[in-house]
Structure 1
Amino acid sequence: MKKFYMVLAVTVLMVFVFVAPVYAKVTFGSTQMTPVAEREFLLNQISSFSKSSGISVELLNFEYPDLLSRLEAEHKTGKITINLVADLQANLYMMAAEGLFEDLKNVTIPGRTFIKTFEQYSYQGGQKVFIPWIQATYVMAINKKAFDYLPAGLKKEDVMNGTGKWTYDALLAWSKNLMEKTKMPQLGFPLGPKSLWHRFLHGCIYPSYTGTQASKFNSGEALVMWAYLKDLFKYVHPACTTWDNMDQPLLRNEVMIAWDHTARVKQAVVERPNDFVIAPVPRGPKGRGYLVVLTGLAIPKGASMDESVKLIDFLTSPKTQVAILESVGFFPVIQEASEAMPEGALKILTQGVVAQSSAADSIVCIAPGLGQYGGEFNEIYRTAFNRIVFSNESASKVVTELSQRLSKLYKQAGIPID
């Protein structure tokens, strides 16, 4: 009898082993959310997905060159192990140009209304390269007290909604008014060594005045812009060269108006949501230029798609999009996320970001995919600013000289100058 029960137990165990479900797997290669805290957050989200879907997910973090090499090798051998990729838009474009990704135009994610601008930018050469996932951008953070000093002809609604009246000239008049009335400069930019000041120059004000980030670097329109910046900096706080982030100067009440990356002004709104609002950047003669950091989700060519699409569905759901903003600071790419956003600081941030991305005069810019030459690209713009605005050198001479270096960088990187 004991032997019978032993045989029965072994038989039951064998049956269980053979009928137990074999979970499908997604190997998710990402260049994003690599810092420890961000990776831990993403792993927790993925774990929740796996429990509800029965699909296991392995998250692999890469630097872009390593991810590219891995995908190229797998594509060449036909042995595809990575079946979902997250990376910046520019990098996804370059990989798609090598034929490494599936065309996703027939992939539909129900219940998602992707921001129109991002949906357009997910295509390259007729191919839908990626599904938008997360975004970050650069905005104006404003102490509500500043609206008491608006110049004639500009209303709070113009600033908050990004109307045609919210221009760089209006910012100059507002900053002048603030300084005259408060006896202190109230406009702030981050110009510290670890700041993102170069992003304002090439991604915001250059396209607003010239229509492009780089191809009209030494144009007549650019000279008008440099003359404007020299005027504007009469009203910029002199401590700006020590600031890497603008949240603390805002919280210390050193300035009332600031420009910076959303993640770098977030803390001011979180700590004092009743005091600050987020607004679109001003517009220039050509439109409202602003830089967007857009991350997309792509599927390598030849990879199993069903499980990957289910993970994409999860990662772009309103609940996950809101959780990403709350925990990591990247903004949603779907309209439904705004409805799921609780009242408070993050809703204030989201409203400002959505108002900017919805502006009719938007000139959306993406940091050029210059690879190893990106650092030198950034330095060219910062050098131009320092020499023209701080050292009072001839703008025409400086931009003519530096434009040659800029053109050379694009040629070395093998991409057309925008």
Structure 2
Amino acid sequence: MSRPPTPGKPASRRDLLRWGLLLGASAPVLSACGGLSTSGGGGDGVSFVSTQFTPVEEAENLRGILRRVYSGGVNYVVGDSSQLSAQIRSQAASGTMNIDLIGGLHGDFAQLGEGLLTDLSDLMDELSVGGYSAEFTELAGLGGTGAFYIPWTQATYLLAAHESALEHLPPGAEVDALTYDQLLDWVIAARRANDDRPVFGLPGGPEGLLHRFIQGHLYPSFTGGVVSTFSGPDAVAMWEYFRELWANSTAASTNFDFMQEPLSSGEVTVAWDHAARLVGAPANNPEQWRMVPSPAGPRGRGYMSVLLGLGIPQGSEKVEEAKAVIRSLSTPDAQIELLRTNSFFPTVDTPIPGDLPPAILLEADAVKAQQDSPDTIVSLPPVGLGQRDGEMSKVFRDAFTAIVLDGADIRATLDAQAGNMQTILDEADVPCWAPDPDTGERCRVA
């Protein structure tokens, strides 16, 4: 597997984007949770609040890593972005900060801003001899000159396919370089060979990430953008395609949250999802599985990438202890262990060892193929929306419900949802994020 840019070595913006390093904001957490409890911040141990690794198993995996790599106590609590932001602001206003360490996506830190985060420039320099690249430093600086979080780990989205489905690939199709037309032909052929029962599934359940498939994969691949092309003619063609793809998907997709479960049970044999939600499928028989890059559309091979960081809120009374936790989680061994357990890839410059579980190695090969594709269009989660991020996701899910499930008119639906999207952007007053061009002005729906 090719590796991220070496700290201290200059890297181009394209290189950073291909490795998910120029990411813009928070995606929804993998599972919902109740309110945060950070009362332990003033007692023993570091109070570590994260918007990521929220499923019980993933959280326990991380707690296990923390116990192995850090000798002090850590109270690891999970919550969503709006909860985290609200508590940081509330505690900062009260003068009592009970949160010592933050784990989240770039957008979690961007919505806090440098006024609520500790400058970690010294730690950034310490963890990378010679300093990070100019692009990387700029990202962590949140528009300023400091470093307000340390890159932690990264992930993306892929297709998973059982070998039984591969025989139905259309003639001339290469599984590691599929187009969306070939994907549709593939799932149609597999359905027909399976007594007309669909074999393809998507995560359309209440906690599924179907909106990221639409937002980060279909839209860039078919239109070249997301917001700026939301209701254009290419978007109409994309939704027409999606109707046909969904018609050849299992109807149970509206209930699927994690695709590794229906893949493991044999309910589907081909599926798209977050890498961490696919890795369980080939765990018992990896020789019978392939992990596959996302397909390409008329505009290119669009895919969304995810970067997690670690930061310290201003006002924490345990800054040095929190820095020690960051150091512990930034070692190659700790990051490889996080890959081994939670399927998130390192941000530090370290080789991927061959003794990892075969399912992880399958994903590593697919990630490399996806990132090395010459026609990639990297999509970033929304930047700067804060608590409105969920409303932006709802725009895509509502459009899907109306157009694909209910058969509503595509043009009328997109026009209505474009108004909803623009209202969100107007109230947030933020510029566009990749793949849409950042003009420095308020992002606008075309």
TM-score by length of 2: 0.73
Match of 2:104 in 1: 87
Deviates more, 1:180-189 or 1:378-387: 180-189
Supply the AA of the counterpart residue of 2:426: K
Residue 141 of structure 1: which of 142, 160, 171 is its match?
160
- Secondary structure of 2:416's aligned partner: helix
Superposition deviation, residue 220 in structure 1: 1.4
Match of 1:262 in 2: 275
Change (3 A) 1:38 1:257: closer
Deviates more, 1:96-105 or 1:218-227: 96-105
Using the alignment, how far apart are the partners of 1:376 and 1:77 within structure 2?
29
Using the alignment, how far apart are the partners of 2:168 and 2:118 within structure 1?
52
Corresponding residue pairs, total: 384
- Secondary structure of 2:362's aligned partner: helix
Using the alignment, how far apart are the partners of 1:361 and 1:74 within structure 2?
46
- Secondary structure of 2:238's aligned partner: helix
Match of 2:337 in 1: 323
Deviates more, 1:359-368 or 1:289-298: 359-368
Using the alignment, how far apart are the partners of 2:139 and 2:302 within structure 1?
16
- Secondary structure of 2:278's aligned partner: helix
Change (3 A) 1:380 1:25: closer
Match of 2:252 in 1: 239
- Secondary structure of 2:69's aligned partner: helix
Matched, 1:274 2:287: yes
Supply the AA of the counterpart residue of 1:131: I
Using the alignment, how far apart are the partners of 1:282 and 1:117 within structure 2?
28
- Secondary structure of 2:280's aligned partner: helix
- Secondary structure of 1:107's aligned partner: helix
Could you say which structure has the larger radius of gyration?
1
Map residues 82-121 of structure 1 onto 2, 5 A cutoff.
84-96=101-113, 98=115, 100-102=117-119, 104=121, 107-109=125-127
Residue 252 of structure 1: which of 254, 265, 269 is its match?
265
Using the alignment, how far apart are the partners of 1:78 and 1:331 within structure 2?
37
Match of 2:356 in 1: 342
Change (3 A) 1:102 1:180: same
Structure 1: 5+ residue runs without aligned partners?
Answer: 1-23
Supply the AA of the counterpart residue of 1:177: A
Q: Answer whether contact 1:168 1:284 (CA < 8 A) is retained.
A: yes
Deviates more, 1:131-140 or 1:327-336: 327-336
Superposition deviation, residue 411 in structure 1: 2.1
Q: Answer whether contact 1:134 1:331 (CA < 8 A) is retained.
A: yes
Identity across the alignment (%): 32
Structure 2: 5+ residue runs without aligned partners?
Answer: 1-43, 434-446
Q: Deviations over 1:258-298 (max 9, x none)?
A: 11122322221113212112111112223222223321013
Q: Deviations over 1:367-409 (max 9, x none)?
A: 3253333333223212212222233322111101111011112
Supply the AA of the counterpart residue of 2:179: T
Match of 1:206 in 2: 219
Match of 1:386 in 2: 401
Using the alignment, how far apart are the partners of 1:268 and 1:202 within structure 2?
25
Using the alignment, how far apart are the partners of 2:254 and 2:65 within structure 1?
39
Change (3 A) 1:192 1:40: closer
Q: Answer whether contact 1:250 1:268 (CA < 8 A) is retained.
A: yes
Match of 2:77 in 1: 61
Residue 289 of structure 1: which of 302, 317, 322 is its match?
302
Change (3 A) 1:309 1:100: closer
Using the alignment, how far apart are the partners of 1:112 and 1:233 within structure 2?
50
Change (3 A) 1:217 1:309: same
Match of 1:125 in 2: 143
Residue 326 of structure 2: which of 294, 312, 315 is its match?
312
Match of 1:176 in 2: 188
Q: Deviations over 1:66-122 (max 9, x none)?
A: 644565578789988866432221111222354634263852535999999988854
Using the alignment, how far apart are the partners of 2:410 and 2:292 within structure 1?
30
- Secondary structure of 1:416's aligned partner: coil
TM-score by length of 1: 0.77
Using the alignment, how far apart are the partners of 1:181 and 1:301 within structure 2?
60
Using the alignment, how far apart are the partners of 1:343 and 1:116 within structure 2?
35
Using the alignment, how far apart are the partners of 1:112 and 1:46 within structure 2?
27
- Secondary structure of 1:193's aligned partner: coil
Using the alignment, how far apart are the partners of 1:338 and 1:275 within structure 2?
22
Q: Deviations over 1:143-179 (max 9, x none)?
A: 12322222222224xx1xxx4xx22122122223333
Supply the AA of the counterpart residue of 1:364: V
Change (3 A) 1:271 1:362: same
Residue 409 of structure 1: which of 411, 424, 430 is its match?
424
Using the alignment, how far apart are the partners of 2:130 and 2:366 within structure 1?
21
Superposition deviation, residue 27 in structure 1: 5.8
Q: Answer whether contact 2:70 2:325 (CA < 8 A) is retained.
A: no
Change (3 A) 1:361 1:387: same
| Aligned-residue CA RMSD (Å) | 3.7
Superposition deviation, residue 300 in structure 1: 4.6
Using the alignment, how far apart are the partners of 1:282 and 1:108 within structure 2?
40
Q: Deviations over 1:43-85 (max 9, x none)?
A: 443343343xxxx354463644564456557878998886643
